Amino acid sequence: MDQMRQLVLVGFMGAGKTTVGAQLATKMNTYQRDLDQLIEQRLGETIASYFDRVGEHQFRQFETQILQEYADQSAILSTGGGIVMQTINRQILKQSSAPVVYLRTQPEELLHRLKDDLDRPLLKQMDHAAFIKLWQYREPLYQEVADVTIETDQLTPTQIVSEIINQLEMR
Ligand SMILES: Nc1ncnc2c1ncn2[C@@H]1O[C@H](COP(=O)(O)OP(=O)(O)O)[C@@H](O)[C@H]1O
Ligand SMILES: O=C(O)C1=C[C@@H](OP(=O)(O)O)[C@@H](O)[C@H](O)C1
Ligand SMILES: [Mg+2]
């Protein structure tokens, strides 16, 4: 059970990394660290506003800095969906002793979950086709870093938490 104190969640935006990470941390009696929330706290600014002001490139640099700080901490680390875009981030995730769990969700389900969302800057910039294209581009990158993959489309966050615990205890 000790290994469960450290775990990283990756997946596309809307996959449930923030929601599942919070529930998992409560269940495992440990902390959740959500990279986006850490970035917002550090900046005193929302991701959406920072993104608009400085652009994606600078956001990615800051994201890497925060990932480096937290990758080996004993906590449930919820990442942002774009964490796998940078080669250095994938290296950090692969080198970390924490198991990496890929929350895999089909694009149609993600679009349904995010239909009223205003907080994700990339969503604003994309139509349906661009969303699917980005999903397809990122899919092998999540697979590259993942130790475990959970298909989330048909599961509630509570069921995903149980599934993660089951799969990691089985290993
Ligand atoms: N397994 C799930 N089933 C249905 N809705 C979900 C599930 N996981 C998360 N959601 C919902 O989808 C939205 C995005 O969840 P969030 O945890 O912010 O995703 P992420 O951090 O991966 O972008 C929220 O409205 C959340 O309530
Ligand atoms: O997919 C992405 O590139 C992003 C996902 C967001 O996090 P969530 O995956 O928690 O939505 C956030 O980091 C930022 O808006 C960029
Ligand atoms: Mg999130």
The CATH number linked to 29 is 3.40.50.300
Average predicted confidence (pLDDT) for the chain: 94
The range of the structural domain enclosing residue 16 comes to 2-152
Q: Which of 61, 84, 74 is nearest to 135 (CA)?
A: 84
- Which of 34, 29, 26, 28 lies closest to 9, judged by CA? 34
**pLDDT tens by residue, 23-52:** 999 999 999 999 999 999 999 999 999 999
- Confirm whether 23 is domain-assigned: yes
For ion ligand 3, residues whose CB falls within 5 Å? 17-18
Residue 167 inside a domain? The answer is no
- pLDDT at residue 88 is higher than 80: yes
Question: Could you tell me which residues come within 8 angstroms of residue 15 by beta carbon, excluding any fewer than 6 positions away?
Answer: 81, 103, 104, 105, 110, 152
- 159 within domain boundaries: no
Task: Give the ligand 1 atom nearest the CA of 15.
Answer: 22
Whether residue 13 has its Cβ less than 6 Å from ligand 1: yes
81 is in an annotated binding site: yes
pTM of whole model > 0.95?
A: yes
The response to whether 80 counts as a known ligand-binding position is no
Question: pLDDT tens digits, residue range 137-159?
Answer: 999 999 999 999 999 999 999 99
Between CA 143 and CA 76 the distance in angstroms is 19
Tally the domains of the chain.
Answer: 1
Evaluate: CB of 152 within 6 angstroms of ligand 1. yes
Q: Tell whether 33 is covered by a domain.
A: yes
The answer to the question of residue 162 being in a domain is no
Q: Is residue 170 part of a domain?
A: no
Atom of ligand 2 nearest to the CA of 36: 13
Provide the ipTM.
0.99
Token output for 12: 């596309």
Angle among Cα 135, 116, 7 to the nearest 5 degrees reads 50
